Chains A and B, each alone.
Chain A
């Protein structure tokens, strides 16, 4: 199908983009990579009055290291971050998870911030941001807000972004320790049925994140040794899982029981 008619604007600066969002509010949609948005337009699931294309705003197309964090601008594509030479050293969890985000062809255009903005419950980048305890930078004409990942993503496709706000960047902390990532999908590049990410940061236990089980990524500290399997069993029942065309809630719990301990142990080995 084809999209319904809409106005198109391609601002040259963040200020111009913010003025458009302030004027049009929730009638506007921000277009970055468009790998979900244009599919939704084609299917007429969304029908915005105006698209604000931010892909040619040079100041959004930056990857920077600031105060122990990697800041990824809103126009940076997933493949550009994946090809960034410092990624394995600074953000090994992203280096492990990004190859599972869509396909090679969609990562060429899909953006890191776009995945965060879309907030699919089974999505890999929001999971990595949650496990690393990263931040989302939101700007409007009235100022800048910086939200923790857990405060930004509120539920299924639901975030704390106000209609006049633009996500200008996300910030991933550079953390020491071992990381691991695994997911189960019907086909490589499909949305995960269940995805698990772990960070063995030397603290008490392991930070374990799970996507595809609840409305948003869940992050818990789990013990690294004897009680690990029991902790994941409790987590599976706590999150319950949900049923869709790909899997039942029971299958999701079972996948978490099977891959959760494996990923946690891989992170511990990676840290050693």
Chain B
């Protein structure tokens, strides 16, 4: 049984975007804060901290979850995937990101990392979604700039482009390590 006392800083090991990482966290530290403060991965944004806005969405073992409704210690030994994983090392955007750019699907960009991670999971499970399905998944996010129409267009464009030109590397990254 794993036990960590209050105030105790436990060493948490996990895989972040394919790399083994470790950092220290008290039991009460949220995964969102652990990523940003302990591991320095600030691509994940923190909005409401009670699961409503969706900014902090990351993949945990391949499935999209709110990192503000997950304790860092719960991610111990698991694979976390964040927005930092999406573009190539040289900065080339992946198909989903490029579609967001093409469709004016972001303005201030604060909510964008979470939305990208939700649809990374969703499109891996459902590569040819209907517009209604996209809108339903987008219901789990708040964006105060775009009015959402550009985001819906972007996701549908990304779905069309990836089903025509499958991106091998992206497909590998998207595959859930564990089915839940």
Query: A and B: partners?
Result: yes
Identify the A interface with B (CB < 8 A): 1-12, 16, 31, 34-35, 38-39, 41-43, 51, 53, 55, 77, 79-80, 99, 102-106, 108-109, 187-189
Question: What's the least CB distance linking A78 to chain B, in Å?
Answer: 11
Question: Does B66 lie at the interface of the complex (its beta carbon under 8 Å from any beta carbon of A)?
Answer: yes
**B4 in the interface (beta carbon within 8 A):** yes
Within 8 Å CB of B66, what residues of A? Answer: 35, 105-106, 109
User: What are the residues of chain B within 8 A of A109 when measuring CB–CB?
Assistant: 60, 63, 65-66, 69-70
The stretch of B132-140, B153-161, B166-174 that contacts the partner chain: B132-140
Q: Are B118 and A104 in contact (CB under 8 A)?
A: yes
- Docked Cα-Cα span, A7 to B71, in Å, equals 12
30 A-B interface contacts by CB (under 8 A): A2-B33, A2-B49, A8-B4, A8-B73, A9-B1, A9-B3, A16-B1, A34-B70, A35-B51, A35-B69, A38-B69, A38-B71, A41-B28, A42-B69, A51-B71, A55-B74, A79-B63, A79-B180, A102-B140, A103-B54, A103-B137, A104-B118, A104-B140, A105-B54, A105-B57, A106-B69, A108-B180, A109-B60, A109-B65, A109-B66
- State the CA gap A162–B74 with chains docked (Å): 26
Q: Is B2 an interface residue (CB 8 A)?
A: yes
Q: Does B19 contact A (CB under 8 A)?
A: no
Q: How far is the CA of A34 from the CA of B1 in the complex (A)?
A: 19
Smallest CB gap from A104: residue in B: B137
> Which of A16, A77, A80, A104 lies at the interface centre, i.e. has the most chain B CB atoms within 10 A of its CB?
A104
Chain A residues whose C-beta falls within 8 Å of the C-beta of B118 in the assembled complex: 104-105
Contacts of A99 in B (CB 8 A): 136
Min Cβ gap A112→B in Å is 13
Residue B68 lies at the interface, judged by CB distance under 8 Å to chain A = yes
Query: In the complex the two chains form, is B51's CB within 8 Å of A4's CB?
Result: no
Please tell me if B24 contacts chain A, counting CB pairs below 8 Å.
no
Q: Is the CB of B180 within 8 A of A77?
A: yes
Taking the nearest CB of chain A, how far is it from the CB of B34, in angstroms?
A: 12
- B73: A residues at CB distance < 8 A: 8, 10, 53
What residue in chain B is nearest A76 (Cβ atoms)?
Answer: B180
**Nearest-neighbor residue (CB-CB) of A190 within chain B:** B139
A10 to B, closest residue via Cβ: B2
